[in-house]
Amino acid sequence: MLPFEHHYATLPAPLWIASEPTPVAEPSLIAFNRPLAKELGASDVPDDATLAQWLSGNTPMPGAEPKALGYAGHQFGNFVPQLGDGRALLLGEVIDQQGKRRDIQLKGSGRTPFSRGGDGRSPLGPVLREYLVSEFMAAVGIPTTRALAAVASGERVVRQMSEPGAVFTRVASSHVRVGTFQFAAARQDEVALKALADHVIARHYPEAANAEDPYLALLEAVVARQAVLIARWMSVGFIHGVMNTDNCSIAGETIDYGPCAFMEQFDPQKVYSSIDQGRRYAFANQPAIAQWNLARFAETLLPLMREEGDALVEQATDAIRHFEPLFSAEQRRLRADKLGLAMESAQADALMEALQSHMYQGRMDMTATFDALTHCAASPSDASREALLALTSQPEVLAEWLDTWQTEAVAATDTARLDAMRRANPIIIPRNHRVQEVIDAAYKGDFAPFHALLSVVTKPYDESTEARRLAAPASDNEQVLRTFCGT
């Protein structure tokens, strides 16, 4: 079905170890992303039963050569020199219709040499969450891994309780992480480190190869991509939940959707992850954590860079310092779009910071606020204004902000700017209570709610009645305050 290649296998051990999936009891296909399969160049897609066998790991997919990838990582600030794919296998790489190389990986396919005593399986809930959230992120244009398939295993997985199991098929630009570089560096294996860096340059940053110092250029390019990525996360209220260095993609994609969630009632210190007791990865902390992760990446590259001594450290430090202005520039651009301002507006930051203060003090839902603001810009009227003011517990204060905003906001006749505003403000996000409803139904064998939610979160600007129903914020008794990793 897919014309696999295996370029990563040219890198030295222990960056990868050949490993086979563990068959499951009774695989059945939950979802298969046919548009993505076509984008990847799939031909002769078989029937669902065959797909279930292939994408569960029960039957080898033609041309696949499964391997578990090694990596290390700082987990909540604590360094672990060996982690690796404990429940995932890279099947191979394909060249997609745009000529880009992309990885195909199984998650939940059984034990590997990196499993560290785990069972290598995944519960159904995290598989459905990653499918929904990653496909939403792709739909709003945020760099992300993609969901190709979800397969029920017909087996139980024990975590906090016994749950149905599943296997997820993920597509990524690559699965190289900051932790992959840390894995080679911790072994003081400069041969593997250089081979990995050269591989990443050739695959993701070919322009760096011609720089005076290719490895400094690599660092600068990764910093730039991460700065843009985190700004885009923040613009839609995404909270990753586990921003460990092993979950930080060198390709600049969102990867490893564990206990992730989207901001609902606005709170800069919001944490949903049940394992983030110290709030290390709270919403507002994400830019600083990304920069910290990049500093760990820079440390691994020092042996490869041309400068020496203090000059080397200063050079790397300067590259990391560039994160903040790059992040701020992208954030300012996104803020202008979200507020319906001209790109050159000097008021974007001040207006956004004031609105965020009002959202926090007034207990406002983030997505609903910007959706209502978009309607105010597109159809200025007392009704659209009142709809926005109805979202806050402090309407008098927000009304003053609205008066100031309206002097700067785009005119209702400027269709290009209104289109940009709508694209920056999705109507629907995968709300936590809706995702939980999907999971609860699936645990009872009903996947219709999953497919219904998937159909609307992949069309996040749709004004349909069903989209509006599923876009509604949670009531007090529907609130989901904690999400779980599922590993």
Q: Which residues carry out catalysis?
A: 246
Tell me which residue of 199, 219, 226, 375 sits closest to 305, measured CA to CA.
219
Distance CA 351, CA 444 (A): 46
**Residues near 436 by beta carbon (within 8 Å), at least 6 away in sequence:** 480
Structural contact between residues 111 and 119, judged by C-beta atoms closer than 8 angstroms: yes
Residue type at 279 in one-letter notation: R
List, in sequence order, the alpha helices (H) in 97-166: 124-139
* Helix, strand, coil percent values for the chain (each to nearest 5): 50, 15, 40
Structural contact between residues 119 and 108, judged by C-beta atoms closer than 8 angstroms: no
Pull the structure tokens for residue 370. 């910007």
**Residues near 105 by beta carbon (within 8 Å), at least 6 away in sequence:** 88, 89, 90, 91, 169, 170, 171, 172, 175
Structural contact between residues 157 and 171, judged by C-beta atoms closer than 8 angstroms: no
Helical axes 323-339 vs 415-424, angle rounded to 10°? 120
Distance CA 116, CA 235 (A): 37
Tell me which residue of 164, 30, 27 sits closest to 454, measured CA to CA.
30
Pull the structure tokens for residue 483. 């999400």
Distance CA 366, CA 265 (A): 6
Tell me which residue of 106, 83, 86 sits closest to 24, measured CA to CA.
106
Tell me which residue of 331, 323, 329 sits closest to 424, measured CA to CA.
331
Q: What is the distance between the terminal CA atoms of the chain, rounded to a whole angstrom?
A: 29
Structural contact between residues 417 and 103, judged by C-beta atoms closer than 8 angstroms: no
